Structure 1
Amino acid sequence: MLNTIPKIMMKKGLLVSLLVALNHLVVMPVQAQTCQSLVSDLARYQSDAQQGSYRFANNAGDAVLDIPEAQSYSAYIRATQALIFARNPKARLPCELETKVSALLPSKPIQVADYVAPFELTHPNNQKAILLIHGLTDSPFTFHSLAADLYAQGYDVRTMLLPGHGTAASDLKETDYRDWQQHVRYAISRTASDYSDFAVLGYSTGAALATTEIAARRPDNLAALVLVAPATQSHSEKAWLAKWLDWLPWVDWVDKAADLDLAKYESFPLHAVTLVEQAMADMREASLPASLPTLVIASDVDATINSQVTYQLLSRWAQARTAPLALRVYAPDTLTALPESIDVTEVTTLNGVIDMSHIGFLNPPDHPYYGKAGVFRNCDTYLDDITAFAHCKTTDTPHFGERSQANLAAHTPLIRVSFNPDYDPMTTQLVTFLGKAMQ
């Protein structure tokens, strides 16, 4: 009995310590997480990649909107915002970033939902507009610089949200290819109805979807098409297997990551591969109207998309062209011969960057989130090695470039560059191109 007294006292002492600790946790204020602090919390990356804290959408309402053809664009935006608030587990996470667009929106963005939602910027009584369509796993946040720069040139600007996006990566499993087609068709036809003159700019998968829709149904008042890093064909030689593997119930995900990025999915469901494979196949078969001015912006070292296939497609489009076809390309080496009818601008060097990645085109170096000194660094290559990952996230001497084997071998740590040192010259060429097409 005497021998048990110290043990009982020890247990009581432990219990008291635990109660004090718990009381301390209750009494002490807990600092609220924000979209900025979330991506600075390195310990969360591996745990969230394993647990999928933000990988799965809230089970509230439908994952895909049904859009009536006659619906106004403002009503479409409101309905999409409601869907984001219902299904995005990060929707109400505090987020205040001074982007170029945030100062132009009707109300100041204060939470994640405000940044991933579609938006429009309008001038009084204006009849010229640009429709911007984002890419796979992305959101309208990718246009928070370009949209403002186009607006400053006098254009109204609209963005849309592809179904399955803006919420959580699991919603891509709830989306059909027809859903993407329907939403792109709505956005293009609605803009054609609302303006006397407009252009479409598509990025990556958005470029593929826009191309296919315009090839089939070009509105008479569509003045120009811009394709940024168009999704023509992936580098993966086995991507075509996805549509068969997608039938297997135990094969759901290609990648499982932390999904802490405020505006892009980092996890990647297998079903999304089948969707983008269909979009790319349709783009490769598309024949654009020869009279439609078209500008393509691409990287010769794009690790996501095979740029050689893009060049082949442009060469086919160049035949019998009656309108300008231009290519701005980031290429460390001189390109092989393209048809003379294609107006090629080659950018061989980039200040402070090894080369241009698939995700870098649309963000200027001073972007508050994806810029050179921005909040977010893409270090997913090192996610399995927490020491290397932390070094990549925190080093004062990073290397920025595309995520290629050559770059990874030669440069440590390598951050996949998410900004474009050539942003201003690129935007100047874009504005000049649109001005000539929409004069």
Structure 2
Amino acid sequence: MAHSVPASERLRVLSTFDAYRDETIQHLGRRRAFVGADITSELDWNTPQEWRPAHLAKGARAEKGILLVHGLGDSPWSFHDIGPELARQGFLVRTVLLPGHGTHPNDLLHVTADEWRRIVTEQAEAMQRDVLKLHLGGFSTGANLVVEYAYANMAVAGLLLFSPGFKSVPFDWLAPAVAAVRPWIVRPEDDRSRHNEVRYLVVPTNGFAQYYYTSRSVRKLLTYSPYKKPVLMVIAEHDSVLDTNYLLRAFERSFTHPASRLIWYGKPPRNGSAGRVLSRDDNLPHLRISQFSHMSMLFSSDNSLYGKNGILKLCLNGQGVEATKRCKDGETVWYSDWGYKEKGKIHARLTFNPYFDWQARMIASVLGVSD
């Protein structure tokens, strides 16, 4: 079993992406508790990646770049499909691995939000030296971190935000107090139930506490002043983690650039601005999809791990022990966010986006705008 990371073993922050990636590979090799037989692939999936436009020679400065930051408990795999698509759109694309991730959930027991911020700052500055125009993107907690950085750095040209964790379900403010007295809300029975090949399945309460600090910071920024660069925000109406009504209001109030758009997977919101809020139905019976999930917009239907025929199925989905076992035993499942139940159906987590290609065109439309 892995334990908390001693100070001498924590990942050093390095100034260039290549040096940072090499150091991360060594760090994962020392600390990761591998769960699959293919250690080489598992190591690669959790390692920061770079995708380059086809026309860009090695060492040449790109016209535009985007740094992508994953969420709490996740890994660079979150952008496995989005990264190559952005490179086809002409971006130099890089991902990071936030401290405490990619190894074992115990490594989040003592991590701080400032350590996450330091990685984002270091690699944003490294990318800015390699591109003429810097963009940032993030998923969930990662979206909070890039919004913080963008407010402090006017050189950022625009943002791409997936399920941004600006405000979660009620009582998130209790996380810091709970973390001080109870390291885990639920302690898994064995190491193998703690994480899969590309994400943690459980997170210690300190992880939630550090997420809360980032969300509180972003809410203050959004309240203080609008963000005037182009933003594409993508959320699912039935997200079980986030307060989606708050996110809709925050978009309308705080992301004021005329090119900014919100993609809303669900029924069209009554309070959404015509033209700025783009809705797509999230109930697709022909695909056995009951509703979209917190993570579903990130992956194409063809993703090798999370797609329609992917090898990783998230059966632990708030369905109860019997339904979870039937899912794992290979019965036909429907797809939803955490906790959704419907009589006569077993629901696994939706981990792919049937609108992925349309969504990619919307990204190109918003991030292609010159400020």
Task: Report the TM-score, using the length of structure 2 for normalisation.
Answer: 0.89
- Give how far 1:434 is off: 2.0
Compared with structure 1, are the counterparts of its residues 266 and 92 closer, same or farther at alpha carbon in structure 2 (3 Å cutoff)? closer
1:412 counterpart letter in structure 2: K
Contact 1:134 1:140 in 2 (8 A): yes
**Partner of residue 368, structure 2:** 435
- Give how far 1:61 is off: 7.4
2:228 counterpart letter in structure 1: S
**Partner of residue 82, structure 2:** 146
**Partner of residue 72, structure 1:** 16
Contact 2:63 2:133 in 1 (8 A): yes
Cα deviation digits, residues 347-391 of structure 1 (max 9, x gap): 124541111100211111111111112111111146862x43231
Contact 2:262 2:278 in 1 (8 A): yes
Contact 1:399 1:413 in 2 (8 A): yes
Q: For the residues of structure 1 that align with 2:311 and 2:16, how far apart are their CA atoms?
A: 35
Show the 5 A alignment for 1:257-272.
Answer: 257=188, 258-272=193-207
Q: Could you say what secondary structure the match of 1:127 adopts?
A: strand
Contact 2:35 2:196 in 1 (8 A): no
Show the 5 A alignment for 1:177-256.
Answer: 177-219=113-155, 222-235=156-169, 237-248=170-181, 251-256=182-187
Q: For the residues of structure 2 that align with 1:411 and 1:359, how far apart are their CA atoms?
A: 25
**Partner of residue 338, structure 1:** 272
1:418 counterpart letter in structure 2: T
Q: Could you say what secondary structure the match of 2:109 adopts?
A: helix
Cα deviation digits, residues 89-122 of structure 1 (max 9, x gap): 1188415xxxxxxxxxxxxxx3311110101123
- Give how far 1:397 is off: 2.1
Q: Could you say what secondary structure the match of 2:180 adopts?
A: coil
Q: Could you say what secondary structure the match of 1:263 adopts?
A: coil
**Partner of residue 357, structure 1:** 293
Q: For the residues of structure 1 that align with 2:332 and 2:105, how far apart are their CA atoms?
A: 32
1:115 counterpart letter in structure 2: W
Compared with structure 1, are the counterparts of its residues 120 and 57 closer, same or farther at alpha carbon in structure 2 (3 Å cutoff)? farther
- Give how far 1:301 is off: 0.7
List runs of 5+ in structure 1 lacking aligned partners. 1-52, 96-109
Show the 5 A alignment for 1:384-403.
Answer: 385=321, 387-403=322-338
Compared with structure 1, are the counterparts of its residues 59 and 182 closer, same or farther at alpha carbon in structure 2 (3 Å cutoff)? closer
Compared with structure 1, are the counterparts of its residues 180 and 383 closer, same or farther at alpha carbon in structure 2 (3 Å cutoff)? same
Contact 2:260 2:366 in 1 (8 A): no
**Partner of residue 27, structure 2:** 83
Contact 1:292 1:323 in 2 (8 A): no
Quick one: percent identity of the two aligned structures? 24
- Give how far 1:338 is off: 3.3
Structure of larger gyration radius: 1
- Give how far 1:437 is off: 3.8
Q: Could you say what secondary structure the match of 1:310 adopts?
A: helix
Q: Could you say what secondary structure the match of 1:253 adopts?
A: coil
Cα deviation digits, residues 204-253 of structure 1 (max 9, x gap): 1100111011112232xx22111110001111x232222112222xx211
**Partner of residue 107, structure 1:** none
Q: For the residues of structure 2 that align with 1:87 and 1:93, how far apart are their CA atoms?
A: 17
Q: For the residues of structure 1 that align with 2:229 and 2:265, how far apart are their CA atoms?
A: 24
Q: Could you say what secondary structure the match of 1:346 adopts?
A: strand
Contact 1:92 1:113 in 2 (8 A): no
Q: For the residues of structure 1 that align with 2:177 and 2:187, how far apart are their CA atoms?
A: 20
Compared with structure 1, are the counterparts of its residues 263 and 118 closer, same or farther at alpha carbon in structure 2 (3 Å cutoff)? same
Q: How many residues align?
A: 356
1:329 counterpart letter in structure 2: W
Q: For the residues of structure 2 that align with 1:274 and 1:61, how far apart are their CA atoms?
A: 20
From 363, 374, 378, give the equivalent of 2:310: 374
- Give how far 1:409 is off: 3.6
List runs of 5+ in structure 2 lacking aligned partners. none
Show the 5 A alignment for 1:27-106.
Answer: 56-57=2-3, 62=8, 64-68=10-14, 71-90=15-34, 93-94=37-38
**Partner of residue 4, structure 1:** none
1:171 counterpart letter in structure 2: D
Cα deviation digits, residues 385-423 of structure 1 (max 9, x gap): 2x432311233421111123xx31445311111111111
Compared with structure 1, are the counterparts of its residues 247 and 61 closer, same or farther at alpha carbon in structure 2 (3 Å cutoff)? closer
Compared with structure 1, are the counterparts of its residues 210 and 339 closer, same or farther at alpha carbon in structure 2 (3 Å cutoff)? same
Q: For the residues of structure 2 that align with 1:322 and 1:433, how far apart are their CA atoms?
A: 10
- Give how far 1:159 is off: 0.5
Q: Could you say what secondary structure the match of 2:341 adopts?
A: helix
